[in-house]
Structure 1
């Protein structure tokens, strides 16, 4: 379990520096979690209660429309997860969170995080910087979604995260990129040559 907290601290300290007392206060609020493969963590209509640091596993965010699932993103080792907009605003989610593999790590509740802001004020700076990074990534994703061809989307994915093809099922990656599994398969074969 110590390895999980070491990873969490390194992740937080990418944005801010913590002294030992601040870290200990933060650490005590993050509690272990474990979910089995294919567990829906948060469903549409539920309020997200937790923000997750994934030590091991694979989690996807998705929504369904007209009987078709649309993948919004994936979280794996060393990353944060959760239905973030629902968590931040404490309102019902309009998308779901599900494990694609057994997943474990630590999580913090909304109320614990709010309480920590008064005990460890620098944590607000971490939240600001984290949100700034999320917005930057979202801007890139939206631009790509609206303007890039299927080939450009695939090439960007392979250049930024080539390992993802080994851990995320092809049908989910195709959905994430807004293409059919057949198109994704053709591009994968072409890319491998």
Structure 2
């Protein structure tokens, strides 16, 4: 499946577009690629694009007092970017780095806003996408505040087992708010339970 076919499949899951709407919308997405270790966005820059990831893995993280904290991951079939910076066109205070080579499509802020104004179906897609993001953020807040380390680990294992094959353990440990040694111990324990 090509990048544009993959994008179409993901968009149409939320909001089907007419043939003419899709034609106008799809030509505004342009290809991009990143090599492992390259940044999609760095803190202090303004996010000018909204991204669709066809293949590859990215991590979102921030730095504080010389320490990196992972806040999320994006991979095949997901959207990415410093969305808060993109929407308000102010500088990002976090980073997105490629954990592998990444290939995808991107649309500029100006083009996406024009498409929201031009087509109710595109605006609906944006609304439903934003709703999914807000729901995910709410769940993540509860997870961080109210779940034990073991519960966070078990939830990640249950909801996203594939991520253990995509993302290095040290980044998953940071995302879950635990030391790499704790993560490793929990992973070994979970593997012995399934054997």
Which TM bucket (shorter chain)? over 0.9
Structure 1 residues 20-72: Cα deviation after superposition (integer angstroms, max 9, x where no partner): 11111111000000110000121111100111100000111100011110000
Shift of 1:121: 2.8
CA distance in 2, matches of 1:104, 1:115: 25
CA distance in 2, matches of 1:34, 1:6: 17
CA distance in 2, matches of 1:11, 1:113: 16
3-state SS in 2 of match to 1:162: coil
Q: Which residue of 2 aligns with 1:44?
A: 43
CA distance in 1, matches of 2:52, 2:44: 22
Shift of 1:118: 2.9
3-state SS in 1 of match to 2:13: coil
CA distance in 2, matches of 1:39, 1:173: 19
Structure 1 residues 148-169: Cα deviation after superposition (integer angstroms, max 9, x where no partner): 0000000000000101101100
Structure 1 residues 115-170: Cα deviation after superposition (integer angstroms, max 9, x where no partner): 21233232111111110110001111110000100000000000001011011000
Aligned residues: 192
Structure 2 residue 171 is the aligned partner of structure 1 residue 172: yes
3-state SS in 2 of match to 1:46: coil
CA distance in 2, matches of 1:61, 1:89: 18
C-alpha root-mean-square deviation of aligned residues, in Å?
Answer: 0.9
In structure 1, runs of 5+ residues without a counterpart are: none
Tell which deviates more after alignment, 120-129 or 103-112. 120-129
Q: Which residue of 2 aligns with 1:12?
A: 11
Asked if the contact 2:41–2:95 (Cα under 8 Å) also holds between the matched residues in 1, the reply is yes
Q: Which residue of 2 aligns with 1:100?
A: 99
CA distance in 2, matches of 1:129, 1:41: 24
Shift of 1:17: 1.4
Using the size of structure 2 for normalisation, the TM-score is 0.96
Provide runs of 4+ in structure 1 moved above 4 Å.
none
Q: Which residue of 1 aligns with 2:144?
A: 145
